[in-house]
Amino acid sequence: MLSKTVCSALNKQMNNEMFSAFLYLNMSAAANEMGFKGVANWFSVQYQEEMVHFMKFYAYINSQGAQAIVDKMAKPASSFPSLMNFFQETLKHEQFITKSINELTELAVNEKDHATQIFLQWFVTEQIEEEENDREIIGKLKLIGDNGYGLLMLDNELGTRVFVPPPTA
DSSP 20-44: HHHHHHHHHHHHHHTT-HHHHHHHH
Cβ atoms < 10 Å from Cβ of 155: 20
Tally of CB atoms within 10 A around 2 = 21
Sign of CA dihedral 40, 46, 50, 52: positive
Report the nearest approach of ligand OFO to the CB of residue 46 (Å). 7
**Residue selected from 9, 17, 80, 116 as contacting ligand OFO according to rule CB under 6 A:** 17
CA distance 55 to 74: 19
Nearest CB to ligand OFO, comparing residues 20 and 116? 20
Residue 130 binds ligand OFO, judged by CB under 6 A: yes
Give kind and range of the element (H or E) at residue 93: helix 83-110
Should residue 20 be labelled a site residue for ligand OFO when binding is judged by CB under 6 A? yes
Task: Indicate which single residue of 28, 66, 94, 104 sits in contact with ligand OFO (rule: CB under 6 A).
Answer: 94
Q: Is 28 in the site for ligand OFO (CB under 6 A)?
A: no
50 near ligand OFO (CB under 6 A): yes
Asked whether position 134 contacts ligand OFO by CB under 6 A, the answer is: no
Q: Does 113 bind ligand OFO (CB under 6 A)?
A: no
Q: Which residues bind ligand OFO (CB under 6 A)?
A: 17, 20, 50, 53, 94, 97, 130
